[in-house]
Amino acid sequence: MTSRGGSSHVGAVFSMADIMAVLYGGVLRLDAAEPKSPGRDRLILSKGHAGAGVYAALAERGFLPVEQLATHYKDGSKLSGHVSHKGIPGVEFSTGSLGHGLGVAAGMAFGAKLDGKAHRVFCVMSDGECDEGSVWEAVLFAAHHKLGRLIAVIDYNKIQSLAPVPETIALEPFAAKWTAFGWRVLESAGHEAAALLSALDAPPDAEGRPTVVIAHTTKGKGVSFMENSVLWHYRTARGAEFDAALAELEGAS
């Protein structure tokens, strides 16, 4: 998808690929035949630059034809680089500018709570995104209103756009920050399906706190020369690089 279309951010897509697989494969209650069914779980991808990961997962679950993925990023396509809901069933919300998803997810969860509904609202975020002040406004709000069915998922690969997180704006002690803000924190290995499933599908907190799943991931996971590399935040795999990456991914599956 990203090679044919020439899009960037493949490292960010691979980083959260296992999170997407577990969410769309085993956690989210969704119905491709009725994408807007009122009782569905909601998912907002706040790190919209990894939109290819949502499109691929939705295609796997039957929301759009797998063949349509080949149009990603091409002229006239509906599959934009940053995730967009227009014309794509199953995409709950469009993002691209970071720091927007959690507040809207909190608004959805707040509305659902007022209406006494039981569905969950997930928001998948990047670590670098937590530099945005708007994220912490939403964190305060969700804890104050005890939005127990709101689940933030952090793709904590510890690499930002230009440099590693600790060299950019340090987030540690990260889990302690969320705890101090009144959230339940669940930490998980970011590429182990069983661990992710148990964290992402955990029953709501008994005290009603919102939940954050901090998933320790590897940027560019699955392709040796992309892993933990700042370069592959933006680089597109082409030619020999593409063949080598595909061979590694196919070998792993």
Partner 1 sequence: MRDVFIASLLEEAKRNPRVHLITGDLGFGVFDKYRAELPGQFLNAGVAEQNMTAIATGMALEGRVVFTYSIANFPILRCLEQIRNDAAYHDANVEVVSIGGGFSYGALGMSHHATKALIAHPGACYLRLDKSSAGDTSRAGEVFELGRIRTIREGARLAFLTCGGVLAEVLKAADSLAADGHEATVASIHTIKPLDRERIIELASTHDVLVTVEEHSLNGGLGGAIAEVLADANVHPRLLKRVGIASDSYVSEVGSQEYLRTRCGLDAPALEALARQLLAGL
Nearest distance in Å: CB 154, partner 1:
18
| Residue 109 touches partner 1, criterion: CB under 8 A | yes
The one segment of 68-76, 87-95, 201-209, 213-221 that binds partner 1 by CB under 8 A: 87-95
- Given 94, 126, 157, 211, the residue binding partner 1 (CB under 8 A): 94
Q: How many residues in total does the chain contain?
A: 253
User: What part of residues 156-215 is at the interface with partner 1 (CB under 8 A)?
Assistant: none
- How many residues contact partner 1, by CB under 8 A? 27
Burial class of 91 by CB neighbour count within 10 A (0 to 12, 13 to 18, 19+): buried
Contact residue for partner 1 among 97, 163, 170, 193 (CB under 8 A): 97
Alpha-helix residue ranges (DSSP H) falling in 49-185? 51-60, 101-114, 133-144, 165-168, 174-180
Q: Candidates 4-12, 73-81, 102-110, 234-242 — which segment interacts with partner 1 by CB under 8 A?
A: 102-110
Distance CA 150, CA 109 (A): 6
Residue 104 in contact with partner 1, rule: CB under 8 A: yes
Q: How far is the CB of 188 from partner 1 (least distance, A)?
A: 25
Amino acid at 58: L
> Cα–Cα distance between 204 and 148 in angstroms, integer?
6
Report in angstroms how near the CB of residue 84 gets to partner 1 at its nearest. Answer: 9
Shortest Cβ distance from residue 253 to partner 1 (Å)? 36
Q: Which two tokens stand for residue 198?
A: 């148990």
Contact region for partner 1 (CB under 8 A) — 19-27, 96-104, 223-231, 232-240?
A: 96-104
Q: Is the peptide bond before 210 cis (omega within 30 degrees of 0)?
A: no
Q: Which of 24, 55, 73, 93 binds partner 1 (CB under 8 A)?
A: 93
Could you write out the three-class secondary structure of 17-49? HHHHHHHHHHHCCCCCCCCCCCCCCEEEECCHH
Which residues face 189 on adjacent strands?
216
Stretch of residues binding partner 1 (CB under 8 A), selected from 11-19, 101-109, 168-176, 198-206: 101-109
Q: If binding is defined by CB under 8 A, does position 96 make contact with partner 1?
A: yes
Q: Which of 91, 98, 90, 81 is nearest to 10 (CA)?
A: 81
Q: Which of 95, 157, 217, 218 binds partner 1 (CB under 8 A)?
A: 95
Using CB under 8 A as the binding rule, the residues of this chain from 122 to 151 that contact partner 1 are: 133-134, 137-138, 140-141
State how far the Cα of 187 lies from the Cα of 89, in Å rounded to an integer.
Answer: 31
Residue type, 226: M
Gap between the Cα atoms of 241 and 246, Å rounded: 9
Binding site for partner 1 (CB under 8 A): 85, 93-97, 99-100, 102-112, 114-115, 133-134, 137-138, 140-141
